[in-house]
Amino acid sequence: MKTVKTARSWLDKILGTACAAIFAFMVCIGTYQIVIRYFFNSPSTVSEELLTYSFTWMALLAAAYVFGERDHMRMGFLADKLRGNGRLWLEVLIECLIFAFAAIVMVYGGISIMKLTMTQVTASLGIPMGAVYTVVPLSGALIMIYNVLNVITLFTDKDREGYE
């Protein structure tokens, strides 16, 4: 159990720091874009692209972080009524469905779209679109890791609410 908590702690710190750094970067680029556009009347297409791709990266990495915290949106009307083993197995099923989605759509589909778009280049930055899409399989893999940690926690931590 200590290993699971340590792994989760490290992943949380890494993802939290990455999201905070990307957000700080976005604030700087957004400020630059506003100054350039309104004071010098010269809009910057590079900053617009950087903001768009940074927001995408931050959103997907933050989504992985939220799945790790188990704070994602859910319809709890059934799970909140269940107690004991019924609730445990429902939550394990939910984690397995999320794992399957992340594996098939995000990791497999993300790698496919990366391969497909490696020859396409972004308009202003001149980098391959496949590099931009790297975040999709990365966040999918992180969600899968968190799912495994969540299932282990479900079976080992019986002090959680609703399992008594």
Contacts of 52 (CB under 8 A, 6+ apart): none
Residue 27's CB is within 10 A of a number of other CB atoms, namely 10
What are the tokens at 111?
Answer: 């790698």
164 — pLDDT class (breaks 50, 70, 90): very low
Q: How many CB atoms lie within 10 A of CB 11?
A: 17
**How many CB atoms sit inside 10 A of residue 23's CB?**
14
The Cα diameter of the chain in Å comes to: 64
Could you tell me the pTM of the whole model? Answer: 0.88
Pair 11, 146: CB distance under 8 Å? yes
Q: Which token pair is 58?
A: 């931050």
Residue 75 has what pLDDT?
66
Long-range contacts of 104-107 (CB under 8 A, 24+ apart): 105/140, 106/136, 106/137, 106/139, 106/140, 106/141, 106/143, 107/137, 107/140, 107/141, 107/144
Q: Where do runs of H (alpha helix) occur along 2-44?
A: 2-39
Dihedral sign of CA atoms 44, 49, 55, 61 in order: negative
φ, ψ of residue 128 to 5 degrees: the values are -65, 140
d(CA 77, CA 53): 36
Q: Coil, strand or helix: which one is 7?
A: helix
| pLDDT recorded at residue 91 | 87
Q: What digits encode the pLDDT tens for the residues 86-144? A: 888 888 998 999 999 999 999 999 999 999 999 999 999 999 999 999 999 999 999 99
66 CB-near residues (< 8 Å, 6+ apart): 72
